[in-house]
Structure 1
Amino acid sequence: MSKGRVTLPYIQGITESLERILKKHNIATVVKPKTTLRNLLAHPIDKLQDSVKTDCVYKIPCMSCNKVYIGETGRTFGCRLEEHKKETESTKVGRYTRAQKKEAEKEENKLALTDHIMRNNCAVDWDGAKVIDREDNRLTRWIKETVWIRKSTPVMNRILKK
């Protein structure tokens, strides 16, 4: 009757000696190879760059404050990021008088990111933008985006009040 079982990695010359010693003390041994085909093939060397990833939730940080914009896309992240850049560059950002700032706050742009830049005179950290989650199911991706918005505070996103 065995007292237990031990799993050992196979190391030539050492594992055999350990097996004999453990067998004397009624301990069963299981030997597994140290390197398997799965270990060699499961971790590809080349990582996929964020710009070519699709079906993702992403964040874009603000350089001027600690807020982030959370978004999602089914297309490539690089393509969506370029759209954000074009949208924010197409609006005129500048210093406002108090009256002009009040007027600007009433306007809503297509993106909450653009609103943030215009209203707060901030700069976007485009190099800090990155993919934070991936999901190929659209509905589940929307849910993940919402969860990330709730988790990441403060955010630039427009949040509906309860």
Structure 2
Amino acid sequence: MGLQISGIIAEYVIDEVLNYTKQKLTCQLPFIKKYRDDIITAMPEEFIQQSLQILNSFDTSKTLQFIIEVENNKSLPFLDMTVIREETEEGSTLMTDWYKKKISSNRYIHHRSYHPFNMKVNIIRNLKTRITKICHPRFINRNLKILSGILRENGYPYGLLNKIIHGTPNTLESPRQIESLQATNEEQTRRYITLPYIEELTPPLKKLIPKEKFQVATRNVKPLRSIFTNLKDPTPTLQQNGVVYKISCKDCEGVYVAQTSTTLKQRLSGHKSDINNIRRSCALAIHMIDEEHQPNFEEVSILNKEKNLEKRLFLEMVRISQEEHCINARKDIQNLSSIYYLLIEWDKRKKTRASTDIQSESLVL
């Protein structure tokens, strides 16, 4: 589990298991509902053990094994629902209620957290929609009051909660959702872009982007990892992959910047092999061979970490442009937009002026 394809594989496997079980089971099942590897059904009590034995006989290697949970007080949890069996004059009927595990922390994005306000509003709306969709009408109002109390513990003001949770009808689809369904074809032609969320800058910047062409999403620039200490041992520099790195020259001020998807150790081995065998495969090897210089492999530094190739290539071009004594070939930055190039040059001149002012001040002192 954890891979994107894991859920799809689980669906296929469970379908095969269910087909195998239904062929061997000697009773009829009134319904079967499943999600990934969670299955809920109803059957006579005397067939419970038989069904478990059939399920576990599917995989002879015993790698895939199932367990069964039986209803308690005529109710059974399934995903984020509690399925309740109620006896009536017409027979048994099933109702669903909102289910929360006893170990649930009830923690959501705090109202004072550094996130866009519309994201916090959408949290309230989405939780209300979930309750409205999965709960029997008998339980909706009770669960909405529970939800309001949980969100109050997360710092949400009573007025906002009252307006969204209790001040709007408990419909399954809000007008905004209906409009979004009607505009599905239009959404397919729009491109999605992400911007870092900076409270004073991002909202006015979003207004400048045409909504008919782009859908803008924001990302948090203050993640939890910036607050809490990382308890895991850091990955050694040479074992890291998906990085933009810099190698300096021992005999001059030249530096070489590049990116790699493999581990840095493997990439440095390739550079060493190119230099030793006089292969002019990259700007680093060409510089070292022509100038008879030595690269400083011992002090290689990582400038950026990025798993996405396109983003990593962009970061590589930016880092090359930022270096004053870069030995990379001109073609390495030919795809960099002129706008970014001008911004980088402006930033370099600004830093040069700042360093000059500091030196002049130190001389005066």
Residue 131 of structure 1: SS of its match in structure 2? strand
- 1:111 and 2:270 equivalent? no
Shift of 1:42: 3.5
Give me the identity figure in percent.
24
Q: Distance in 1 between matches of 2:316 and 2:286?
A: 19
Q: Distance in 1 between matches of 2:255 and 2:232?
A: 31
C-alpha change, 1:53 and 1:39, in structure 2 (3 Å) is: closer
Residue 55 of structure 1: SS of its match in structure 2? strand
- 1:90 and 2:277 equivalent? yes
Q: Distance in 1 between matches of 2:300 and 2:234?
A: 17
Q: Distance in 2 between matches of 1:118 and 1:81?
A: 16
Shift of 1:141: 0.1
Q: Distance in 2 between matches of 1:70 and 1:154?
A: 11
Counterpart in the other structure of 1:62: 249
Q: Distance in 2 between matches of 1:50 and 1:39?
A: 20
Q: Distance in 2 between matches of 1:39 and 1:68?
A: 30
Structure 1 unaligned spans of 5+:
1-37, 93-108
Kept in 2, the 8 Å contact 1:55–1:136? The answer is yes
Counterpart in the other structure of 1:29: none
Give the TM-score, by structure 2 length.
0.28
Q: Higher relative contact order by CA 8 Å / sep ≥ 6: 1 or 2?
A: 1
Residue 289 of structure 2: SS of its match in structure 1? helix
Counterpart in the other structure of 1:78: 265
Provide Cα deviations, 1:32-72, integer angstroms capped at 9, x if missing partner: xxxxxx89964225221111101000011100001111010
Q: Distance in 1 between matches of 2:227 and 2:314?
A: 35
| Cα RMSD (Å) | 2.4
Counterpart in the other structure of 2:302: 131
Kept in 2, the 8 Å contact 1:57–1:133? The answer is yes
**Structure 1 residue runs of 4+, over 2 Å off?**
38-42
Counterpart in the other structure of 2:234: 47
Q: Distance in 1 between matches of 2:259 and 2:284?
A: 13
C-alpha change, 1:39 and 1:116, in structure 2 (3 Å) is: closer
Provide Cα deviations, 1:64-95, integer angstroms capped at 9, x if missing partner: 00111101011111111111111111119xxx
Match of 2:327 among 136, 147, 156: 156
Q: Distance in 1 between matches of 2:294 and 2:329?
A: 18
C-alpha change, 1:112 and 1:44, in structure 2 (3 Å) is: same
Counterpart in the other structure of 1:145: 316
1:54 partner letter: N
C-alpha change, 1:45 and 1:156, in structure 2 (3 Å) is: same
Kept in 2, the 8 Å contact 1:77–1:131? The answer is no
Larger gyration radius, structure 1 or structure 2: 2
1:74 partner letter: S
Q: Distance in 2 between matches of 1:152 and 1:40?
A: 31
- 1:120 and 2:291 equivalent? yes
Residue 155 of structure 1: SS of its match in structure 2? coil
